[in-house]
């Protein structure tokens, strides 16, 4: 079935909204909007299971609604609510209908459709903040769970000589392809896949994805990282920090740098060599 389902939870602000996003990610939801009183989540119609939002609403004592929307309705709804995102003087993420960014190093234009990663969510924002401190010049980069392609686009703009961007969702690959063209990127290769194997080695790896997928792939991600290379991961809640530090140490990752926002964390590691 083509199209998507929109599930809207009421009074899902603050850390509760972040917890819901983490759980919905694992259930296959791929797009989100949030304001002070609502969390709106989108999932391909073929993957929608009515019991999933019902169970979440019951668990957290929330009111919710769900409805089917054709894909053709998405752009108008998104344009009505999308606001530019600025990460200091480093990066601006905007739509084509917004004025060009002023006084920022990197101006990125995207149309996210149903793909995850607009800079609005804390995990994407934190990934960009971590990227600001790194040297991408002439580096080989892997973006695992690329979504809209925003981090891959930013990596190229920062000077990466080559970027491999992977996502399991065909819609994300289609959307990322459009966004790469919109930003005139020529050094990013997109792959539809559920695992990061078969490429590398990489100087830098970016992985903004769900907790379970990160744990399942941490060993292979480390193996694909050159000695002395940098791994940045997000999609984790603060409660996940201890488990990930232990798992990272077992893989020979060290020197972690931690950023936090709204209950979410982003970790940066070096691979020992």
Please tell me the predicted confidence (pLDDT) of residue 119: 57
Name the region of 201 (left: φ>0; alpha: ψ -120 to 50; beta: rest).
Answer: beta
Question: What is the pTM assigned to this prediction?
Answer: 0.76
Q: Is 150 within 8 Å of 179 (Cβ atoms)? A: yes
Q: Which residues is 28 bridged to in the sheet?
A: none
Q: Is 39 within 8 Å of 20 (Cβ atoms)? A: yes
Please tell me the predicted confidence (pLDDT) of residue 79: 60
Q: How far is CA 247 from the centre of its chain?
A: 21
Q: Is 205 within 8 Å of 142 (Cβ atoms)? A: yes
Q: What is the mean pLDDT of each run of 10 residues along the chain (273 residues)?
A: 84 70 84 77 90 93 90 60 83 84 88 61 90 96 94 97 92 90 96 85 94 90 95 90 92 90 90 83
């Amino acid at each position: 079935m083509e199209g998507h389902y929109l599930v809207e939870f009421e009074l899902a602000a603050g850390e509760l909204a972040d917890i819901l996003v983490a759980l919905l990610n694992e259930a296959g939801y791929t797009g989100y909007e949030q304001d002070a009183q609502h969390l709106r989540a989108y999932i391909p119609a073929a993957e929608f299971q009515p019991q999933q939002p019902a169970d979440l609403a019951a668990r957290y004592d929330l009111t919710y609604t769900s409805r089917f929307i054709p894909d053709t309705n998405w752009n108008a709804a998104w344009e009505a609510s999308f606001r530019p995102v600025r990460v200091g003087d480093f990066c601006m993420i905007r739509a084509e209908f917004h004025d060009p960014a002023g006084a920022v190093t990197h101006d990125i234009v995207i149309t996210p459709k149903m793909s995850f990663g607009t800079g609005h969510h804390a995990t994407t924002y934190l990934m960009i903040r971590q990227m600001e401190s790194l040297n991408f010049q002439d580096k080989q980069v892997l973006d695992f769970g690329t979504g809209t392609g925003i981090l891959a686009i930013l990596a190229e703009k920062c000077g990466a000589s080559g970027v491999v961007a992977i996502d399991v969702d065909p819609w994300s690959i289609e959307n990322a392809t459009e966004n790469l063209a919109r930003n005139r990127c020529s050094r990013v290769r997109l792959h539809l896949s559920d695992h990061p194997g078969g490429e590398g080695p990489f100087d830098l790896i970016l992985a903004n994805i769900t907790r379970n997928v990160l744990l399942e792939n941490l060993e292979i991600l480390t193996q694909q990282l050159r000695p002395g290379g940098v791994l940045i991961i997000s999609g984790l809640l603060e409660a996940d920090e201890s488990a990930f530090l232990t798992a990272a140490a077992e893989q020979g990752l060290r020197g972690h740098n931690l950023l936090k926002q709204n209950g979410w964390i982003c970790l940066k590691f070096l691979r020992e060599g």
